[in-house]
């Protein structure tokens, strides 16, 4: 475990955050609260799509046949299976995708993008990518972006290490 400068163990054993750690933490929280809100708002206005819905449709659109198992989609979008099911309900009612059982294994459900769904992703993508550039990518130098990705990867590794423990 990495030790930092000032955070000394207390009688109770808690290592509080020093000023730098606290500032970093508050900055991360602020980004976590504001960045998705800004992207959500742009997508809702331009395509009546939440950010999560867009990411789901975008993932489908990248597949060879624009189809994916629900559980795979859940992993790729970092969402629960239950959430996926609810979102797929909404998108199916709007005619943007449909679901059918995997003929090779009936336990699996495939989500398939419709032409209308594909068209909507194609229509929404430019505005969305532009916002992502404006708020994130182009706001950082290439070095800063690499550093951000590196930090993100470490945090994700830590998040995943505890996810199935205890068994």
Partner DNA sequence: GAAGATTGAACGGTCAATCTTC
Partner DNA sequence: GAAGATTGACCGTTCAATCTTC
Minimum gap (Å) between residue 105 Cβ and a second copy: 26
Stretch that binds a second copy, among 85-93, 97-105, 156-164 (CB under 8 A): 156-164
Indicate which of DNA, a second copy, none lies near residue 6 (CB less than 5 to 8 Å, by partner kind): none
Given candidates 9, 162, 166, 167, which one binds a second copy under the rule CB under 8 A?
162
Residues with Cβ within 8 Å of residue 124, at least 6 apart in sequence: 43, 46, 47, 49, 54
Is residue 157 involved in binding a second copy (CB under 8 A)? yes
- Separation CA 52–CA 41 (nearest Å): 12
Lay out the site mask for a second copy across 88-117 (x = CB under 8 A, - = otherwise): ------------------------------
Indicate which of DNA, a second copy, none lies near residue 112 (CB less than 5 to 8 Å, by partner kind): none
Backbone angles phi, psi at 15, to 5 degrees: -95, 105
- Separation CA 150–CA 140 (nearest Å): 14
Q: Give whole-number Cα distances, 135 to 30, 36, 49, 55, 131, in Å.
A: 13, 10, 19, 17, 6
Please say which residue, 98 or 118, places its beta carbon nearer to DNA. Answer: 98
Indicate which of a second copy, DNA, none lies near residue 67 (CB less than 5 to 8 Å, by partner kind): none
Q: Is the peptide bond before 166 cis (omega within 30 degrees of 0)?
A: yes
Share of the chain residues as helix, strand and coil, in percent rounded to the nearest 5 = 65, 10, 30
CA dihedral 148, 27, 125, 87 (to 10 degrees): 110
Indicate which of DNA, a second copy, none lies near residue 125 (CB less than 5 to 8 Å, by partner kind): a second copy
The SS3 assignment for 9 reads coil
Q: What is the binding site for DNA (CB under 7 A)? A: 37, 41, 44, 50, 52, 69-71, 74, 79-90, 99, 101-102, 105-110
Binding site for a second copy (CB under 8 A): 1-2, 4-5, 12-17, 20-21, 23-25, 27-36, 38, 55, 58, 61-62, 78-79, 121-122, 125-126, 129-130, 132-142, 144-159, 162
């Amino acid at each position: 475990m990495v030790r930092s400068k000032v955070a000394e163990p207390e009688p109770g054993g808690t290592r509080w955050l020093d000023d730098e750690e606290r500032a970093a933490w508050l900055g991360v929280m602020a980004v976590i609260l504001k960045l998705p809100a800004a992207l959500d708002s742009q997508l809702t206005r331009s395509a009546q799509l939440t950010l999560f819905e867009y990411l789901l449709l975008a993932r489908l659109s990248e597949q060879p046949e624009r189809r994916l198992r629900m559980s795979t989609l859940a992993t790729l979008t970092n969402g629960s299976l239950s959430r996926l099911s609810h979102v797929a309900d909404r998108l199916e009612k709007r005619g943007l995708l449909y679901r059918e059982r995997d003929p090779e294994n009936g336990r699996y459900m495939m989500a398939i993008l419709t032409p209308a769904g594909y068209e909507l992703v194609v229509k929404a993508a430019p505005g969305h990518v532009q916002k992502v550039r404006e708020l994130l990518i182009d706001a950082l130098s290439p070095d800063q972006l690499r550093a951000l990705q590196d930090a993100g990867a470490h945090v994700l590794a830590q998040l995943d290490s505890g996810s199935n423990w205890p068994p």
